[in-house]
Structure 1
């Protein structure tokens, strides 16, 4: 089972969501004839996993900002969160036990957060909800990154983004093991299933953030556009396992769940293998359902399109702080 992304959708939809919406509503629903008469059902509105994920991430960000602001004796608003990435920690101390400290041995799902304040970068670890927050060493985030890799990444970023090297900053670097595509797949490209040691490097400039994947010596450098904040787009974080939706049932190809807007409502669109497209909408406690039918050929074509979405697997494109009138959409499929 592969789970696609949560998307924040303001009045100006992001490119990825726009593509997904066009594919589903344009190719599938738009090409179909009504299959059943709409029904009115009574049902209360329920909270979506995306909403719980939003609150958890907000709590983590606020906990890190609060802790660093207290340490530096500065207003919390002067602490900027650069990135936040899903991690699994080895114990209740988040892998940062103090001498003589006793830690629970249970694995903890959480986050690794990069923050900046006073022109410096700090790395934090947290649990899933920000209740436990610990600061890593004050060493720069890219202290262990080999110089040859650092140079290769900055040079690649400078050329691709047309930004001078001296205006780029590496704010995070961590060792990773990639496949033959360095973890960045493309449509119709087969990735060799070999283990390639390398690095995941985060580059920032002017409030934007780019994520690069490299091999061990920096001779291969690739931009991960799905994980980057490019041209004002939203930088994603990974969705926690407990916030994922239920697996799709047998015979279901794809499902999208949209929630929010000026007049909050929930819309669930489900595509079945036999060509049925069912759209359920919950609005002010009332539920309506519409059904359509598309051809098997269209279903198969849509399946092929989904293969190019694997780079967005389990990514959450959360709304910016202060955003209003937005819709959160979760896309779910059987395969990426």
Structure 2
């Protein structure tokens, strides 16, 4: 039986075969004369050559990892526990970095402060209690340390400070030389500078400005002002009497107020001799839940109470009537003292908390006391 190629050879006559051969040669010449198609060549794979080493020597070792000296870590944690009246057991260093500060004030001095103009090698240390974060600057040894916080009044221009003190002297009835600007932070206000009774309509515009705390003997005033201090108002809700003067809390980037969920209100409690740490939440359905935070993996929430819808509505009304939002970002803590609990209160959708120490809750402003008492009645099981 003949193969396919043999059959084809028989079918092709000599003349036809010659024509076909010439056609193939013509096509081949056209292909050779055509412009070549440009293609991107793959880069050559580099050949790794071994690093030559001297005979009898080992190859270079990688640089050792940077470690935070134990003395610096201890100094920062002790300072924070002392200043914020917190148990050192609830604190930990979560991050750090080596830094070079521009002066002996670690870059945090006021314009009129005397700071040695010499570069200072040191550290920037982040401290957390699981709910909030604070940042500290130190020198190389940790002997010189300062907290980066919103209470650093150096951010307020001197001319603005003088205007505020002049107004505060009239309001408090004391000479200017008895007043002190204790804290300042940048804030944005509505048309009423955030100070108005519930019946007043305030234009919803953003006025950039400041919030400051001015202290006098046995009293303090909280003032709201625009950037140029042409508008200044005292906030009677957050101003108070006595020696306990609040500070401003460090902003917490993890709290943006966008994720409200089913939580209406919550508190974070930490400290005490046993180093307790737990969260208590009021849910929309009236459930009061508690979560123990001492374990690495928090335990499941425990139901401690069930409120009626009327009780939930009454508590929400208490928050509104006592202007809880005015206290956001304030910290009420004594200087020194024995073991105590630190409690941070947060409402649904809020971007900051209100923090206080249990042993001084009766020294906080009257409206905040009303809120604390209402929350304690809810969270203490009967």
Which has a greater percent of strand? 1
Compare relative contact order (CA 8 Å, sep 6+) and give the higher one, 1 or 2. Answer: 1
TM-score (norm 1): 0.49
TM-score, reference length from structure 2: 0.44
